Amino acid sequence: MSADATPSTLASQITRLRAEIAAHDERYYRQAQPEISDFDYDQLKRALADLEAAHPAEVAALGAVSPVRRVGDDRSEGFTRVKHRFGMTTLDNTYDAGELRDFHARLVKALGTEDLAYTVEPKIDGVAVSLTYENGHFTRAVTRGDGEEGDDITANVRTIRALPALLASAPSGDDLLAAEAAPPQLIEIRGEIFMRDEEFRRINALQEEAGEPAYANPRNLAAGTIKLLDPAIVATRKLEIVLYGLGACEPAPDAESAGGFDSQSSFQARLRAWGLPVVEKFWAVRGVEAVLASIAELDALRRGFAYPTDGAVVKLDAFAQQRVVGYRGEGQAARKLSPRWACAYKFAPDRAETRILSITLQVGRTGAVTPVAELEPVLLAGTTVKRATLHNADEIARKDVRVGDTVLVEKAGEIIPAVVEVVLAKRPADSAAYVFPSDCPACGTPLAREEGGVKWMCVNPDCPEKIRRRIEHFASKACVDIDGLGEEIVDLLLSKKLIRGVPDLFHLTQGQLLPLKKSGEVWAGNLVKAIAARRTADLWRVIHGLGIPQVGAAAAKDLARRFRSLEALAEASLNEIIQIDGFGEKTAESVRTWFNQPAHRVLVAELLAAGVTPAPPALAHAGGVFAGKTLVLTGTLPSLSREEAQAMIEAAGGKVSGSVSKKTHYVVAGAEAGSKLEKARSLGVTVLNEGDLRALLAGA
Ligand code: IVH
């Protein structure tokens, strides 16, 4: 930050960084599809934290909560929300040994002694989860959520084979444990769900076969998997778990009847004695030098661990000392922030040095332009890397990346490597700052900056590159799934001017195709047949294939269910679209805006004229009492299980959702209904009991 920065540019800089971080949070926590590496993300967050710390007045004037002070939020639709008994906090990451020394120095000061005992544990790069065991029985698994309240993923976690449903209570024989290891009445145990590399590769291969997007790394796949709504599918993917942390415990952990553990190291031993999967190794040491030595040992061992280990977590060992130093923000903020008794140290990811030969731009089907570094090939984490993403123009400017620069590329388990840093010392004397092109590389139209975002977009609806990508998308397995119509054939058809857009596909004849391939008779016949068969593709596939921004498969299915034809969807009002459960203003507006564009109206008309009559979803329950209605179940009903109630509602055409909003039509509440019932009341949503539900279903 230059010294002469004015308050207003500071404020806009802070706001911009916050927005950027929020967008990455959304992609990481909710969509499990991050766009940048953890390292880059940490850098952004650090830059914001430094900026905010240096300018408290501007920060105060901005008002809104900074992402620096927030844990991400992973909560998603379709899950029951559960409050953690003890909030789930997170830790800031450091990549710097100096900061570990500072951490120790702070504790020495707070506790008045140099001689501090620590544990050093692997930092597992998985998805945080909180398990509840009651009298030794596994009863619940909840995601971190916003730290206070997470999603109930119990059914999915039950598919993890190594997780015992019942804790062992036999004596452990471990020195650290004198008493018998009987589990407490209630305990929240924290850990990470992860996936091994092998399993990650197996599932990604299947994803690609099915035309679905590949997951960036094992962590994102694990995060996506625990958020699947069908535990039967979760069971086909091998999730694993490792436990290391303590949440609530009743009675208190040092009580004899709770197991009598009073430190992180005795807790770790207790976890093992209970038969839970724990870290392969942890270090119990005294003083910061021993901590640093343990971290070095861990670094040498970690590649042999079952779980991805991206760092070390250093914890003050004694619970009594942890209580003394407590948490940041305790007492003042509504929720606890990070513990003062722990510190996360991250290892820098695998990197290699190479040179940027050129920077090319990729135009996606939405028109988003992504800069790519074309590299001198280099070996990185076992594969040869020739290209790396530069993310966007802002990132290029922030890192001052130039053609001819020597750069560090990084691959932290991700599929696409990224340029993380320029080696300035090796910059050629004659290098010039990279000027992001102002025009689309494919069609020459001036690029426009995405509203409120960081991407530059080609806004020409007729851009040949966009058209090519759109046709590919429409024909892809994830959308209309036209057999035999891959990238290569789309290119061929475009270059021979046989098609200009998606509708033309449906007019192709065998005669036009025949000359394209030597003895292409069978091929031409098959392709024409494959295309014709898709005139009656499922409506949602066609909607997905249109490539409306914000509309993926799930939203396309909702739209198909609600509007049942392309014509009806094209005419739907913004208000009608917003009414769909799970649709925010942004998605609804995107749909409406898309259909408002003359070129898109023409596209739809041409599809219809070409005889495309997509099939709406089956209408089994349209006449049901709950047709088009969204219900939320909460609490325990007297005689119906959750599954039974849900099946009855769905059979009557209703949809069961996990959270209460203005769009909820009814909340069905049973015994011990909690926050959802309160929310229903505060929003004025009709509350039913089991009797009311049965009466409505019976048509009374
Ligand atoms: S202790 C009190 N121990 O990394 C909050 N966390 O960057 C700290 N993690 O939120 C939790 N391995 O999700 C702890 N051995 C370990 C860990 C670990 C991975 C995760 C956890 C935490 C984040 C901190």
pLDDT digits (tens, 9 = 90+) for 356-379: 999 999 999 889 999 999 999 998
Q: If you average pLDDT over residues 548-573, what whole number do you get? A: 90
pLDDT attached to residue 2: 44
Dist. CA 128 → ligand 1 center (Å): 8
Tens digit of pLDDT for each residue in 503-515? 999 999 999 999 9
Mutate-to-test residue for ligand 1 from 192, 309, 315, highest number of ligand atoms within 8 A of CB: 192
- Give yes or no: residues 101 and 217 share one domain: yes
In a domain, 424, yes or no: yes
User: Of 346, 362, 394, which one is at a domain's C-terminal end?
Assistant: 346
Side by side, the strands of the sheet bearing 137-143 are: 137-143, 127-134, 186-194, 240-250
Query: Which CATH number covers residue 42?
Result: 1.10.287.610
Ligand 1 atom closest to the CA of 125, numbered from 1: 19
pLDDT at 43 over 90: no
pLDDT at 174 over 60: no
* SS3 letters across 252-294: CCCCHHHCCCCEHHHHHHHHHHCCCCECCCCEEEECHHHHHHH
pLDDT at 248 over 60: yes
In a domain, 136, yes or no: yes
Residues 542/612, Cβ–Cβ less than 8 Å: yes
Residues 331/296, Cβ–Cβ less than 8 Å: no
Q: How many domains does the chain have?
A: 6
User: Of 19, 43, 67, which one is at a domain's C-terminal end?
Assistant: 67
DSSP state of 389: E
Dist. CA 351 → ligand 1 center (Å): 24
Mutate-to-test residue for ligand 1 from 124, 142, 243, highest number of ligand atoms within 8 A of CB: 124
- Give yes or no: residues 210 and 336 share one domain: yes
Phi/psi class of residue 562: alpha, beta or left (left: φ > 0; alpha: ψ in -120 to 50)? alpha
Closest residue to atom 1 of ligand 1, CA basis: 245
pLDDT attached to residue 180: 57
Query: Which CATH number covers residue 376?
Result: 2.40.50.140
Q: If you average pLDDT over residues 267-291, what whole number do you get? A: 96
Tens digit of pLDDT for each residue in 524-554? 999 999 999 999 999 999 999 999 988 888 7
pLDDT attached to residue 491: 94
Ligand 1 atom closest to the CA of 121, numbered from 1: 15
Residues 418/409, Cβ–Cβ less than 8 Å: yes
Ligand 1 atom closest to the CA of 344, numbered from 1: 7
- Band of residue 172 on the pLDDT scale cut at 50, 70, 90: very low
Tens digit of pLDDT for each residue in 393-430? 999 999 999 999 999 998 765 567 889 899 999 999 99
In a domain, 307, yes or no: yes
pLDDT attached to residue 541: 94
In a domain, 663, yes or no: yes
pLDDT attached to residue 210: 61
Q: Which of 199-213, 435-449, 549-563 has the highest mean pLDDT?
A: 435-449
DSSP 363-379: E-TT-EEEEEEEEEEEE
Dist. CA 352 → ligand 1 center (Å): 28
Round the CA-based radius of gyration of the chain to a whole number and report it.
28
Q: If you average pLDDT over residues 116-140, what whole number do you get? A: 96
Query: Which CATH number covers residue 590?
Result: 1.10.150.20
pLDDT attached to residue 621: 58
Query: Which CATH number covers residue 299?
Result: 3.30.470.30
Cα diameter, the chain:
88
- Band of residue 175 on the pLDDT scale cut at 50, 70, 90: very low
pLDDT at 154 over 70: yes
In a domain, 73, yes or no: no
CA distance 453 to 141: 36
Compute, in degrees rounded to 10, the torsion defined by CA atoms 568, 569, 574, 579: 90
Dist. CA 129 → ligand 1 center (Å): 10
Query: Which CATH number covers residue 636?
Result: 3.40.50.10190
- Give yes or no: residues 192 and 241 share one domain: yes
- Give yes or no: residues 509 and 580 share one domain: no
Residues 240/198, Cβ–Cβ less than 8 Å: no
Q: Which of 250-254, 491-495, 682-686 has the highest mean pLDDT?
A: 491-495
Ligand 1 — pocket residues by CB below 6 A? 89-91, 93, 121, 123-124, 128, 192, 244-245, 313, 339, 342, 344
- Band of residue 232 on the pLDDT scale cut at 50, 70, 90: confident
Q: If you average pLDDT over residues 65-71, what whole number do you get? A: 66
Closest residue to atom 24 of ligand 1, CA basis: 91
pLDDT-above-90 percentage for the chain = 57
Closest residue to atom 3 of ligand 1, CA basis: 313
Contacts of 402 (CB under 8 A, 6+ apart): 356, 422, 427, 431, 432, 433, 434
- Give yes or no: residues 373 and 385 share one domain: yes
Domain that holds residue 575: 539-609
- Give yes or no: residues 479 and 397 share one domain: no
Dist. CA 315 → ligand 1 center (Å): 10
Q: If you average pLDDT over residues 622-631, what whole number do you get? A: 82
Ligand 1 atom closest to the CA of 279, numbered from 1: 15
Closest residue to atom 10 of ligand 1, CA basis: 90
In a domain, 166, yes or no: yes
CA distance 138 to 4: 58
The length of the chain is 700
Strands 630-634 and 666-669: parallel
User: Of 295, 312, 346, which one is at a domain's C-terminal end?
Assistant: 346
Ligand 1 atom closest to the CA of 123, numbered from 1: 12
Dist. CA 98 → ligand 1 center (Å): 20
Contacts of 127 (CB under 8 A, 6+ apart): 74, 143, 192, 193, 194, 219, 222, 223, 226
Catalytically annotated residue among 45, 123, 315, 466: 123
Mutate-to-test residue for ligand 1 from 94, 123, 315, highest number of ligand atoms within 8 A of CB: 123
Closest residue to atom 11 of ligand 1, CA basis: 90
Closest residue to atom 13 of ligand 1, CA basis: 128
Contacts of 271 (CB under 8 A, 6+ apart): 189, 243, 244, 278
**Residue 663 is inside which H or E element, if any?**
none
- Band of residue 65 on the pLDDT scale cut at 50, 70, 90: low
**Cα torsion 84, 86, 92, 93: sign:** negative
Q: Minimal CA–CA distance to 169: which of 250, 270, 277?
A: 270
Ligand 1 atom closest to the CA of 315, numbered from 1: 1
Q: Average per-residue pLDDT in the chain?
A: 88
- Give yes or no: residues 294 and 368 share one domain: no
The position carrying tokens 């279903």 is 697
pLDDT at 602 over 70: yes
123 as an active site residue: the answer is: yes
Closest residue to atom 22 of ligand 1, CA basis: 90
Q: If you average pLDDT over residues 517-521, what whole number do you get? A: 88
Q: Minimal CA–CA distance to 212: which of 559, 551, 476?
A: 476
Mutate-to-test residue for ligand 1 from 29, 42, 90, highest number of ligand atoms within 8 A of CB: 90
- Give yes or no: residues 334 and 355 share one domain: no
pLDDT-above-70 percentage for the chain = 91
Ligand 1 atom closest to the CA of 128, numbered from 1: 13
Lowest mean pLDDT: which of 288-302, 381-395, 441-455? 381-395
Closest residue to atom 4 of ligand 1, CA basis: 123
- Give yes or no: residues 323 and 396 share one domain: no
In a domain, 510, yes or no: yes
- Give yes or no: residues 654 and 521 share one domain: no
Dist. CA 341 → ligand 1 center (Å): 12
Residues 42/346, Cβ–Cβ less than 8 Å: yes
- Give yes or no: residues 37 and 152 share one domain: no
Closest residue to atom 5 of ligand 1, CA basis: 90
- Give yes or no: residues 218 and 337 share one domain: yes
In a domain, 367, yes or no: yes
